Structures are given as C-alpha cells and as structure tokens.
Amino acid sequence: MTRTRARVLVSGTVQGVAYRANTRDAARERGLDGWVRNLNDGRVEAVFEGPKEDVEGMIEWCRTGSLAADVQSVESESEEPGSLNGFEVKR
C-alpha cells in the first residue's frame, strides 16, 4: 500500500461549527493518520496521511465538512508521508 500525505487549508465559516470534530471523525472512519487545527486567520488546517484514494476522498469531504460549515475554498498540497499515527484535533 502506497501512503500519501496532503496538507489542506479550508476557508469560510469553518470555526465554531464542529468542523474539526467532524473532520477527525471522518478521517478516523477512513483509517487516516494526521491532525486538524484552527488557524488564527479563521481557516482550518489539516494533514491527512494514508492510502491515496482515502486521502483524496477526505480532501473532497472537506469541501462540505460539518453541516453548519460554509466552506468557501479548499486548498491542498502533497507532502512526503511521515510517521503520523492516529488522528487528533490540535489546539
């Protein structure tokens, strides 16, 4: 299994709407490793690592996110896979 890694930046109304918790749950359901956190500028940043199609599916999921979110844009870039283990919400 080839692992891939993506760093994602999500803009819009994505803080205070359970976006991080829903991202964590969706990533765990796919068996992905990584993390998600709020940024000071109002965006959410996430790193997803795992099988390519699962990572791509998670990036697509970010375009909607939690039901209360209003996602304006999703930017992603590929990175070298690391040794992430589990998926967490960073503070």
For 52-66, what is each residue's pLDDT tens digit? Answer: 999 999 999 999 998
* Per-residue pLDDT tens digits for 31-40: 999 999 999 9
Q: Taking the model in full, what pTM does it have?
A: 0.95
Catalytic sites, residue numbers: 20, 38
What is the pLDDT, as a whole number, of residue 18? 95
- Whole-angstrom distance, CA of residue 37 vs CA of residue 88: 9
Q: The tokens of 10 are what?
A: 């999500």
Looking at residue 83, its pLDDT comes to 87
How sure is the predictor about 2, in pLDDT bands with cuts at 50, 70 and 90? confident
Backbone angles phi, psi at 47, to 5 degrees: -125, 125
The architecture that CATH gives domain 3-75 is: 2-Layer Sandwich (3.30)
Q: Is 49 helix (H, G, I), strand (E, B) or coil?
A: strand
pLDDT for the residue 55: 98
| Structure tokens, 36 | 């998600």
**Is residue 12 within 8 Å of 82, Cβ to Cβ?**
no
